[in-house]
Amino acid sequence: MPVNLVEPENLLAIDGVRLSAGASGIKKNGATDIVLIEICEGARCSAVFTQNRFRAAPVLISEKHLEKTPPRLLLINSGNANAGTGDTGYNNAVNTCELAATALGCKREEVLPFSTGVIGENLPVECFENSLSDIVGLLDSNNWLQAATGIMTTDTVAKAVSTQFEIDGETITITGIAKGSGMIKPNMATMLGYVATDASIDSDLLSECLKSTVESSFNSITVDGDTSTNDSCVLIATGKAKAAGINVKDQRYDTFLKALNKVMQTLAQAIIRDAEGATKFVEVKVTNALSYADAKTIAYTVAHSPLVKTALFASDPNWGRILAAVGRAEIDKLDVDKLSIFLDDVCIVKNGGRAADYTEEAGQRVMSQDEISITIDLVEGDDSAIVWTSDLSYDYVKINAEYRT
């Protein structure tokens, strides 16, 4: 069951964006498996993609198309990753772009393809041939929830959020969706994420906003340490809002960036709350480090540790596992005699050893919660980092052992 995560409500339309979803037969259970996101002319779009060297065909094509022209349509399928499929997979992805472009009435290069699902199986192009015209006919600005549902694989809850704020007295809206539950340790973005706003913003600033907010959201989560072949995150700005354009780094930029970061973090945390087999949502925070890189490395080392994650699942305050994970983090300098570790407000380690006033009962109280904060104070510098993760349960093993059966 997801950890304190419910179906999204009150998703707000973005002027200049229409969405649709339908079942094409890619998923054998008849569930929704193709999603379209239509983008108005004149919109600006930025994207980041996986750094996995086995990059899926749709990733390669999306990057190529983005270099040529602004996109008019995002074509997303779930149930098949079209990764590890060689030339056949590449050609299949090109063909689906051609089919989508014909159905919408745009150029093939104006279509960005995205896929998620099982790796190593050829994409059934006939499913697109038989369904795209009908799905194009369903395009509507209020279909965000349908789209969020259509991109799911092992997710149990759709992940979506909207927010509104003001710039110069005018309302700006941001709405985003994401998917992901396993194979989660993004190295650029997240599994699949699509965020749109009606703000008008300079292209270079939009790209900066995306990279900045991805780093503090999707690049700060992990379920199992596995970076997908298909990770992609797209940010769209239609420019339809009445507010003045954001062209420089001023107060308007800061206001937009803050709101966008909130959306991105909400989506990223939703992925962890719905992690495969998760029973706990865990924040690992490293403070007073010599550098952000050091803090992030230590946070990820703790968050990736199978021993830490299984102790979390068992609600076992085995603080030695956390201490050991910190000690093996690959950073240049660590003074173990100075650091402290906390479970929520309970100090478990002080000056490198067990805190004098720590009790097993106090640690047990925190570890029994379904939301836990682990804070590691290095007492070295001024930098900090946060990573969100989940526990490692029997169900995680079961879900992934039976994924293709």
For 13, the token pair is 């339309």
The pLDDT of residue 1: 73
The pLDDT of residue 190: 66
Q: Is 190 part of the annotated catalytic residue set? A: yes
For 356, the token pair is 């004098």
| Residue that finishes a domain, picked among 222, 247, 273 | 273
Same domain, 299 and 339: yes
Does 102 reside within a domain? yes
The pLDDT of residue 188: 73
Same domain, 303 and 241: no
Q: Which of these, 157, 245, 166, 243, lies nearest to 201 by C-alpha position?
A: 245
CATH number of the domain at 341, please: 3.10.20.340
Same domain, 94 and 226: yes
For 374, the token pair is 């682990």
| Run means of pLDDT, 10 residues per run, the chain, 405 residues | 90 98 95 98 96 94 97 97 96 98 98 95 97 98 98 94 96 97 79 95 97 95 90 97 95 97 97 94 98 97 97 95 96 95 97 94 96 97 98 91 75
For residue 334, what are the CA distances in angstroms to 287, 374, 380?
Answer: 13, 18, 8
For residue 170, what are the CA distances in angstroms to 22, 40, 134, 242?
Answer: 35, 21, 37, 6
| Residue that finishes a domain, picked among 273, 308, 323 | 273
> Is 27 in a helix, a strand, or coil?
coil
Domain interval for residue 67: 17-273
Q: Which residues pair with 37 in a beta bridge?
A: 19, 74
| Residue that finishes a domain, picked among 273, 293, 311 | 273
Please pick, among 190, 197, 227, 238, the residue that the annotation labels catalytic.
Answer: 190
Same domain, 185 and 326: no
Same domain, 135 and 225: yes
State pTM to two decimals.
0.95
The count of domains in the chain is: 2
CATH number of the domain at 117, please: 3.60.70.12
Same domain, 232 and 298: no
Same domain, 25 and 48: yes
Q: Which residue spans within 242-335 are E strands per DSSP? A: 281-289
